Amino acid sequence: MKNIYLSLLTILFMAITTTGCDEQSKPEAGYDPEAKLAALNITLPTPPQPVANYVNGVRTGNLIFLAGKGPRYADGTEISGKLGQDISIEKGYEGARLTAINQLAVLKAMLGNLNKVKRIVKVLGMVNCDPSFVEQPKVINGFSDLMVEVFGEKGKHARAAIGVASLPRAQAVEIELVVEVYD
């Protein structure tokens, strides 16, 4: 009787731990960020290349750390300027959304398919702004809103939105992020 009891406990334990692992290693049915991008009429560009001695992203385990990117259009032009001086919150929001598209292009290049994204974990949004400007969250919402549109609940993330005195090439925003991916 004791052996049967131990066997049943072993089987139950294996069933619980195996099921838990399977659920965490694959996206659930119906999860398709690529289809959501298509529905939004968003075509991902070729990922912008680093402008110095660094890489676009580094994967360690199930986390990808993406280097900061800015609001660069496919033709190479950028949204530049200083919030609170020469560009509006709406233009900054557009810049943050464009930056999200560029970061998604990097993620797709690294993973092959955005369905491998398990969760957007952490976003650091930097806004090129006048010292008196205090609406950084409204600007970085352009990035966050697109992440939620594309990934649903998995797109909700921890975030910081800070103001900085300047950014490279006077770009309006620069955003970096951490992403958890499926095995």
User: The whole model's pTM is what?
Assistant: 0.85
Q: Residue 146's closest CA among 33, 29, 27, 32?
A: 33
Distance CA 41, CA 31 (A): 18
Q: Provide the Cα torsion 61, 178, 171, 153; round to 10°.
A: 140
One of 1.20.200.10, 3.30.1330.40, 3.40.50.1820, 3.40.50.920 is the CATH number of 29-181, namely: 3.30.1330.40
pLDDT tens across the length of the chain (183 residues): 555 444 444 444 444 444 444 445 677 778 899 999 999 999 999 997 888 999 999 999 999 999 999 999 999 999 999 999 999 999 999 999 999 999 999 999 999 999 999 999 999 999 999 999 999 999 999 999 999 999 999 999 999 999 999 999 999 999 999 999 998
Residue extents of the structural domains in the chain: 29-181
3 state SS of 168 = helix
In whole angstroms, what is the distance from residue 98 CA to residue 109 CA? 17
| 97 alpha-carbon distance from chain centroid | 11
Per the listing, tokens 């402008």 go with 51
Residue 106's beta-bridge partner residues? Answer: none
Tokens 């797709």 belong to which residue?
Answer: 108
